[in-house]
Amino acid sequence: MGRRIGRRDLLKIGAASAVAAALGGCEFPRPWVQLEPYVRPPEEQVAGVGTWYASTCRQCPAGCGIIVRVLNGRAVKIEGNPQHPLNEGKLCPRGQAGLQDLYNPDRLQGPVRQAVRGSRQYQAISWEQAITDLRTGLAQAGSSLVVWADCTISGHLLDLFERLTAALGAPPPLVFDLYTALSGYAALSSADALLFGRAALPAYGVEEADVVLSFGAGFLSTWLSTTHYGVAFGSFRQRPLGQRGYLVQFEPRSGPEAAKADLWVRLHPGTEALVAQALARLIADAGEGPPDRVARARAWAPAVDPAAISAMSGVPLEDLRRLASTFVTAGRPLAIPGAALTGHGDAVAQAAAVQVLNVIAGAAGLGISSGPPAEGLLTAVVAPYGRVQRLVERMRAGQVGALLVWGAANPAYALPPALGFVDALKQVPLVVSFRPIVDETAVWADLVLPDRTYLEAWGYDVVEPSFGMPLVDSQQPVVQPLYNTRATGEVLLEVARGIPVAAAALPWPDELAFLRERIAALPAGVFNGAGEEVRWARFLQHGFWQLAPGPAALEAPQARLQPVMVPAPSFQGAAGEFPFFLYIYMPVLLSDGRGADKPWLVGSPDPMTTLMWQTCAEIETNTAIKLGVTYGDIVRITSPYGEVEVPVYVLNSVRPDTIAIAAGLGHSALGRFAGEEAEGPNPMALVGAGADASGASMAWANIRVRVARTGRRVALAKFEDTRGSYGGFVNQAFADQYL
């Protein structure tokens, strides 16, 4: 503005405008003051009016679309992107809590160096110094460099890492974390390769199904695309013409899925795949139902004895017969393999044994509908556990010159201590973490070069599984970066500039140039746009780019005709010494532990136990009586590989012979909320170093344990029985009558 305007001046201007209006289009002499708009109007700073940015949720690998409300430069609320076909405007609790990644008080504010690993004495360094150190380390490591990323890595960053490792002659980045390990990504994907000749994560059309047999799948809590399955579950329960889908959950413990199921089959741990095989056999033998399904069942059902499986699983033969009949006569039946069956035996064969039911139903299209990845774009493919085992061996043998760990992979927390990762780390000359917060792995790192959180960073994500809708999500900064952090993509480009072989492979001036080049190669999508600029703007505006589904995307792949055999489950630990089965699961809020540093997640009640800030050993009522323990008693749980001390929670949602423990807590780092306030065990301490027979999965689901009292107690931070309504007015009688 030319000068300060007082009230009188404003009146004059008003008068002038009135005259100007009266004079119409006549030329008017220059007024006393000239009103000028801001040269750069602060569009984000209209008081009280929010600006919404579309981006992508990175709390799990699903790739839901989000929109973030930004007020005065602060991100204040995350909602689901209503346009996004995967989550249709909805969001799970972990997605809602994304703001606390951004505003976590324990974030690193700049790059640091740790002179003595494990000392937690971090010394702030400049980015120039950090990049020089990293460059020296990489040049020395050369082909012995290893990059370890978690599954939520942006495609462009994975691409840059791949180019860097390729230029140095190092193996491609390893993608592995606890979330995908405990969901069985690698095994599920290999099972589809075995059956359909294409490795892809399965995607199930729950909303279209009328009978769903879920073999332990936590699809409403933490498995694959939970928000999509949540939306689908709403439709499943309210199908057209007043129909209501029928859900059967086979699981030794009741999570939200078994709670919502019409029938919860509390089978013996480890027998899920066997039951699927028995059902296939019974369908073939009974000959009931559509002839094509029966014919496929006869071709596919392995020669198993349903009576023997009934005895092994504890499911009465009559129930198995009825379930087989229900399945084969349903309009659109569907079978879903869960996580636990990918944690023992031959994980790939077990997942395939369940998928065979979809082949029999002719619902392979319902069972696998992932589209092919978009051309030139990368999606993170989870490495089989065998590769992790070999890497730790190589580290121990001193064959790894530098280890770069990106994101929430956190191997020092995620891997069973029996594997000896932390020990092997000592043989690695340079360990670098890029996590924005110090986690258990960063505790053993030489350098921590904090990346930006996903609400401050650029990226793209090829949605996988895509449910037949090939989608590429866009990720953009919604606020100014909070601290002196630097995008890992920028760091890599800068580091590469000083290493001649890498410089040629990574010639881009900055990561945005690289990202835009990748995106420009996308074929035309549903948002028409002429020219690169317009299409880039629409990519950011909508938060995703939907590709026209190719014919291959929806067509059911050709199934290979060969029965899959699953052996009887075997357990780690002798039955006499270890009388209980251990059932590890990822809870809704904490998932694999990446929720533990956010008060909204770790401080909200778990749906089944109602615990906040704590996880417990879940023990069935009668078992607890026999053991002489009750709520809050601390017990020592011992497996052949380790032990944890954990308070008891008594409930009827587990089998009497099973102890369930949630993953996600037991942190020794990850900030004040996870590391100091929350208390609970890390159940990975009870898991051995071994893999399943296929080498795809960690053998985490066939562990036997024993329980011993310690005589100590702890107060439980639970919701149940604490509010008056819980056992007060809205009481059991109401629940029995109406719920």
Residues 353-412 that bind other proteins (CB under 8 A): none
Cα→Cα distances 731→464, 651, 704, 721, Å: 43, 17, 37, 10
- Of all helices (H) and strands (E), which one includes residue 302? none
CB of 412 to other proteins, least distance (A): 25
Kindly state whether residue 734 participates in binding other proteins, applying the rule CB under 8 A. Answer: yes
Spatial contact of 184 and 351, defined as CB atoms under 8 Å apart: yes
Q: What is the CA radius of gyration of the chain?
A: 28
Residue in 260, 497, 636, 713 binding other proteins, rule: CB under 8 A = 260
Nearer to other proteins, 98 or 173 (CB): 98
Kindly state whether residue 607 participates in binding other proteins, applying the rule CB under 8 A. Answer: yes
Spatial contact of 654 and 254, defined as CB atoms under 8 Å apart: yes
Q: What are phi and psi of 139, to 5 degrees?
A: -65, -40
CB of 179 to other proteins, least distance (A): 17
DSSP letters spanning 214-252: EES--TTTTSSSHHHHHHHHHHHHS-GGG---EEEEE-S
Phi-psi map region of 460: left, alpha, beta (phi>0 left; psi -120 to 50 alpha):
beta
Residue in 57, 68, 86, 99 binding other proteins, rule: CB under 8 A = 99
Nearer to other proteins, 246 or 300 (CB): 246
Residue in 22, 116, 530, 735 binding other proteins, rule: CB under 8 A = 735
Kindly state whether residue 450 participates in binding other proteins, applying the rule CB under 8 A. Answer: no
Distance CA 415, CA 150 (A): 13
Kindly state whether residue 634 participates in binding other proteins, applying the rule CB under 8 A. Answer: no
> What residues from 75 to 94 belong to the interface with other proteins (CB under 8 A)?
75-80, 87, 89-93
Spatial contact of 539 and 319, defined as CB atoms under 8 Å apart: no
DSSP letters spanning 68-97: EEEETTEEEEEEE-TT-TTTTT---HHHHT
Query: Which of helix, strand or coil describes residue 572?
Result: strand
Spatial contact of 211 and 363, defined as CB atoms under 8 Å apart: no
Residue in 118, 128, 262, 484 binding other proteins, rule: CB under 8 A = 262
Kindly state whether residue 585 participates in binding other proteins, applying the rule CB under 8 A. Answer: no
CB of 454 to other proteins, least distance (A): 15
At 440, list the tokens: 């258990």
Distance CA 157, CA 226 (A): 25
Q: Are strands 246-250 and 402-406 parallel, antiparallel or unpaired?
A: unpaired
Spatial contact of 579 and 655, defined as CB atoms under 8 Å apart: no
Kindly state whether residue 123 participates in binding other proteins, applying the rule CB under 8 A. Answer: no
Nearer to other proteins, 23 or 76 (CB): 76
Nearer to other proteins, 204 or 421 (CB): 204
> What residues from 322 to 351 belong to the interface with other proteins (CB under 8 A)?
322-323, 325-326, 329-330
Distance CA 692, CA 247 (A): 29
At 728, list the tokens: 């007060």
Residue in 266, 281, 516, 667 binding other proteins, rule: CB under 8 A = 266
Kindly state whether residue 730 participates in binding other proteins, applying the rule CB under 8 A. Answer: yes
CB of 63 to other proteins, least distance (A): 15
Distance CA 442, CA 424 (A): 15
SS3 labels along 672-736 = HHHHHHCECCCHHHHCCCCECCCCCCECCCCEEEEEEEEEEECCCCECCCCCCCCCCCCCHHHHH
Kindly state whether residue 680 participates in binding other proteins, applying the rule CB under 8 A. Answer: no
Nearer to other proteins, 119 or 480 (CB): 480
> What residues from 644 to 663 belong to the interface with other proteins (CB under 8 A)?
651-653
Residue in 12, 74, 198, 394 binding other proteins, rule: CB under 8 A = 74
Q: Where are the alpha helices (DSSP H) in 266-316?
A: 272-286, 291-300, 306-313
Residue in 388, 612, 662, 707 binding other proteins, rule: CB under 8 A = 612
> What residues from 471 to 500 belong to the interface with other proteins (CB under 8 A)?
482
Kindly state whether residue 233 participates in binding other proteins, applying the rule CB under 8 A. Answer: yes
Nearer to other proteins, 322 or 626 (CB): 322
Kindly state whether residue 45 participates in binding other proteins, applying the rule CB under 8 A. Answer: no
Query: Which of helix, strand or coil describes residue 395?
Result: helix
- What is the total count of residues that contact other proteins (CB under 8 A)? 99
Choices 180-188, 443-451, 657-665, 721-729 (CB under 8 A): range interacting with other proteins = 721-729
Residue in 529, 603, 657, 685 binding other proteins, rule: CB under 8 A = 603
> What residues from 206 to 225 belong to the interface with other proteins (CB under 8 A)?
210-211, 220-221
Residue in 55, 144, 190, 254 binding other proteins, rule: CB under 8 A = 254
Residue in 508, 536, 571, 600 binding other proteins, rule: CB under 8 A = 600
Residue in 153, 213, 258, 381 binding other proteins, rule: CB under 8 A = 258
Kindly state whether residue 194 participates in binding other proteins, applying the rule CB under 8 A. Answer: no
Choices 100-108, 196-204, 269-277, 510-518 (CB under 8 A): range interacting with other proteins = 100-108
Nearer to other proteins, 83 or 389 (CB): 83
Is the peptide bond between 252 and the residue preceding it cis, with omega within 30 degrees of 0? no
